[in-house]
């Protein structure tokens, strides 16, 4: 299991030079410490790697260790070089490009409180789409993975590509999406499913920052597969519904990481 290399209960020391390892392409990341209050993750980007615009639900700090690149924060370009320190608020859109091998530490603050409720209108719309989601679910999830692997190839390492090839992973996700559509007003009924998936996410080292990527690809896939049936009203409702579910998973995964660190 990929877990943090340090615990908040134990003394730990290291040099970044010993921890930094660059891939031939894409990204390698390693969680240094993760608990209920904060998370430190070392990111190593190969030269030329891009992380498309996304946002985090938590306040964050970027500290550049070595290399050069560009950081676009809310439309403003910031040159990355050793020693550069960037503070960004939660939900601020940002993107990264490494012009040479680039290493930085991402520090995430405590999770913001999860939204516990969504509008009744959103609940009604999402539940109304359940039949068509059931009918076209695997096509949607297959398309979602296609979009994600094309636009964010660095995440491939976290997936069992054989399960992608034989369709079992898209099928499982389609079942989960349909279950959410039918139980969006009864999240307690999804507790077992959430717990199972959250444990899988922890094993594959899913990060909170990756949820916006999945959400963006899922919404695009819904539009691609459902066509005219994916009205603006439907997409808006699913965007709100996905945000709630992402917060549920992030909170549960944080609990699992904390339990693992204490054991």
Which secondary-structure segment (H or E) carries 228? none
Q: Per DSSP, what are the bridge partners of residue 70?
A: 79, 97
- pLDDT in the model for residue 112: 53
Please tell me which residue in 22, 178, 180, 211 is annotated as part of the active site. 211
- pLDDT in the model for residue 242: 94
pLDDT, greater one: 82 or 258:
82
pLDDT tens digits for range 12-33: 888 999 999 999 999 999 989 8
pLDDT band at 259 (very low <50, low <70, confident <90, very high): low
SS3 of 50, please? strand
- Residue 91 tokens read as 């939900």
What average pLDDT does the chain have? 89
Class of domain 120-262: mainly alpha
- pLDDT in the model for residue 37: 76
pLDDT tens digits for range 92-114: 999 999 999 999 999 998 765 54
Answer whether 16-108 and 120-262 agree in fold: no
- pLDDT in the model for residue 1: 40
Question: Is there a catalytic annotation at residue 22?
Answer: no
pLDDT band at 253 (very low <50, low <70, confident <90, very high): confident
Question: Is there a catalytic annotation at residue 211?
Answer: yes
C-beta of residue 153 within 8 angstroms of C-beta of residue 247: no
Q: Count CB neighbours of 178 within 10 A.
A: 19
- pLDDT in the model for residue 187: 82
Domain ranges in the chain? 16-108, 120-262
Task: Collect contacts of 248-252 with beta carbons under 8 A, ≥24 apart.
Answer: 248/114, 248/187, 248/194, 249/194, 249/197, 249/198, 249/201, 249/211, 250/57, 250/111, 250/114, 250/208, 250/211, 251/111, 251/114, 252/194, 252/195, 252/198
- pLDDT in the model for residue 39: 87
pLDDT tens digits for range 190-208: 889 999 999 989 888 888 8
Q: Quick one: which of 1, 3, 2 has its CA closest to 258? A: 3
- Residue 39 tokens read as 């998370």
Please tell me which residue in 22, 180, 253, 257 is annotated as part of the active site. 253
Class of domain 16-108: mainly beta
SS3 of 81, please? coil
pLDDT tens digits for range 54-84: 888 788 999 999 999 999 999 999 999 999 9
């Amino acid at each position: 299991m990929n877990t943090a290399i340090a615990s908040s209960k134990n003394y730990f020391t290291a040099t970044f030079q010993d921890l930094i390892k660059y891939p031939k392409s894409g990204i390698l990341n390693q969680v240094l410490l993760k608990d209920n209050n904060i998370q430190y993750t070392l990111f190593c980007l190969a030269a030329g790697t891009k992380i498309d615009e996304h946002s985090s639900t938590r306040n964050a700090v970027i500290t550049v260790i070595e290399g050069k690149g560009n950081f676009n924060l809310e439309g403003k370009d910031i040159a990355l070089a050793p020693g550069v320190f960037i503070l960004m608020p939660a939900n601020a859109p940002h993107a990264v490009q490494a012009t040479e091998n680039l290493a930085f530490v991402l520090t995430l603050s405590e999770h913001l409180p999860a939204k516990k409720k969504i509008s009744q209108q959103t609940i009604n719309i999402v539940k109304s789409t359940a039949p068509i989601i059931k009918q076209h679910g695997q096509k949607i999830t297959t398309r979602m993975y296609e979009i994600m692997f094309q636009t964010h190839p660095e995440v491939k390492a976290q997936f069992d590509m054989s399960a992608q090839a034989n369709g079992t992973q898209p099928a499982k996700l389609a079942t989960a999406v349909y279950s959410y559509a039918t139980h969006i007003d009864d999240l307690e009924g999804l507790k077992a499913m959430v717990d199972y998936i959250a444990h899988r996410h922890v094993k594959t080292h899913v990060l909170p920052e990756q949820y916006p990527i999945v959400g963006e690809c899922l919404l695009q896939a819904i539009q691609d597969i459902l066509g005219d049936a994916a009205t603006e009203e439907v997409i808006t409702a699913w965007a709100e519904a996905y945000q709630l579910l992402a917060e549920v998973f992030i909170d549960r995964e944080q609990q699992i990481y904390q339990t693992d660190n204490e054991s």
